[in-house]
Amino acid sequence: MDNTNDKLNSTKEESRRKFLKNIGLVGLGGFAIGAALFSAKKFEEVKKGKNIRLLTADGNVVEVDSVHIKSVDKDLLTIQQEQGREGIVGRSWVMVIDLAKCRNARKCVSACQEAHHLRPEQYHINTLQMQDTPSTKPYHMPKTCQHCDNPPCVSVCPVDATFKRNDGIVLIDNERCIGCRFCIAACPYSARSFNWFEPKDAETFADVVYDVELNVPQKKGTITKCLLSADKLRKGELPYCVSACPNGVFYFGDANEDAVTNGTTKETVRLSKLLTDNAAYQLYPELGTKPRVFYLPPKNRLFPYTENEETKA
């Protein structure tokens, strides 16, 4: 009895399998035909595009098939993010700050804050009143992000929002930043600032496409920091702070070329010679962060030290 049952079951099983197989084949065939028809239709649609006249960036009028036109806005963000992450190939940016020349004009600060839409208390660059020992004279020190080659902020970022580019710049993508502020905790140079509220002029710039190399428009709840004016560098110009300085404090250039240019005098000098002749140093090199910003000690100062009222504390 059991035996016959088994047999019966097995034949049933077989016919069911066959049936399923057939169904499968029919289904597959149907799908293939459908897909073919669909793609043919797509192809037809592509061919039916309209020609549109456009003005190119260099002033020529061209005709372009409308199907090739994509929304620029969306792409611009992606393009900027992609090139922003890659950096400028073959470059190795460095900054040299000559402390002997700084008289705390704070033109670097204001130029920077204007370019990056920062509130007055938000700094990418700030001038600090420093005194190394009680018996030495105080001096003014412009302080930017040090663009470390071993950046603690980049290590701790959980979402790759802040990153190191191949030209040495540490950038922040505020379309990615989740606002955890681990990078603020990690940075020994207090280089980072946060958008605690809606950023300055947020409404005015609401429609501007985000430029990762300028970090504009700023976004509430994300980090902002010095970018060494990556947008200017792409245009072959000096950073905002460097060209704003009236006193020749900043040198900026490419370590691969071994040349840096003074932002005020526009004089270009050999980087290695500048660093050697003036006994250049870095901030807290013992932390192993390998900064890209060098300081020339405040010797033979051009200006006497004047204390800034608001920074006496």
Partner 1 sequence: MEHSDFSSKIPTKIGEKLFSTVNLNIKFHIWMGFLSVLLLACFYAYYIQLRDGLGVTGIRDFVSWGIYLSNFVFFVATSLVGMLVSSVVGLSGKKWVIPITRIAEIIAVAFAAVAGLVIVSDMGRPDRLAYVFLYGRFASPIFWDVTVVTLYFGISFLLLYVTLIPDLALGAKFLKWRPKWLLWAYNLLSLGWKGTEREFAILKKSIRILLILIIPMALAIHTVTSWLFAFNPRAGWDSTIFGPYFVSGAFVSGLSCLMIAMYFFRKNYKLEEYLTDKLFDNVGKLLVLVSLVYIYFNINELIVPGYKLKTHEAIHLRELFIGHHSVLFWSVQIFGLIIPTILLLFKPVRKPFPMLLLGVMVLVGSWFKRFILVVPVQEHPYLPIQHVPEIFKVYTPTLIEIMVTIGPMVMVLMIITVLTKLFPVIPVWEMAEHGEVKENE
* Contact between 192 and partner 1 per CB under 8 A: yes
Q: Which of 27, 90, 284, 307 binds partner 1 (CB under 8 A)?
A: 284
* Contact between 121 and partner 1 per CB under 8 A: yes
* Contact between 186 and partner 1 per CB under 8 A: yes
* Contact between 294 and partner 1 per CB under 8 A: no
Contact between 158 and 168 under an 8 Å Cβ cutoff? The reply is no
* Contact between 188 and partner 1 per CB under 8 A: yes
* Contact between 218 and partner 1 per CB under 8 A: no
* Contact between 158 and partner 1 per CB under 8 A: yes
* Contact between 124 and partner 1 per CB under 8 A: no
* Contact between 297 and partner 1 per CB under 8 A: no
* Contact between 181 and partner 1 per CB under 8 A: yes
CA distance linking residue 222 with residue 200, whole number of Å? 13
> If DSSP states are collapsed to H, E and C, what string results for 6-68?
HHHHHHHHHHHHHHHHHHHHHHHHHHHHHHHHHHHHHHHHHHCCCEEEEECCCCCEEEEEHHH
Question: Which residue has 């670097």 as its token pair?
Answer: 108
Q: Which of 144, 218, 243, 289 binds partner 1 (CB under 8 A)?
A: 289
Backbone angles phi, psi at 263, to 5 degrees: -70, -25
Minimum distance between the CB of residue 126 and partner 1, rounded to whole angstroms? Answer: 6
> What is the DSSP secondary structure assignment for residue 133, as one 8-state letter?
S
Question: Which residue has 């084949």 as its token pair?
Answer: 25
Q: Which of 31, 197, 267, 281 binds partner 1 (CB under 8 A)?
A: 197
* Contact between 176 and partner 1 per CB under 8 A: yes
- C-beta of 90 vs 138, nearer to partner 1: 138
Contact between 189 and 143 under an 8 Å Cβ cutoff? The reply is yes
CA distance linking residue 103 with residue 111, whole number of Å? 16
> What is the DSSP secondary structure assignment for residue 284, as one 8-state letter?
S
Tell me the CA distances in angstroms from 197 to 118, 122, 194, 220, one per residue in order. Answer: 12, 12, 9, 6
Binding residues with partner 1: total (CB under 8 A)? 48
> What residues between 35 and 94 interact with partner 1 by CB under 8 A?
none
Question: Comparing C-alpha atoms, which of 256, 87, 79 is closest to residue 165?
Answer: 87
* Contact between 128 and partner 1 per CB under 8 A: yes
Minimum distance between the CB of residue 256 and partner 1, rounded to whole angstroms? Answer: 27
* Contact between 203 and partner 1 per CB under 8 A: no
Tell me the CA distances in angstroms from 8 to 11, 20, 22, 95, one per residue in order. Answer: 5, 18, 21, 86
- C-beta of 125 vs 216, nearer to partner 1: 125
Q: Which of 209, 256, 283, 297 binds partner 1 (CB under 8 A)?
A: 283
- The contact set with partner 1 (CB under 8 A) reads 121-123, 126-130, 143, 152, 155-161, 176-182, 184-186, 188-190, 192-198, 220-222, 283-284, 287-289, 310-311, 313
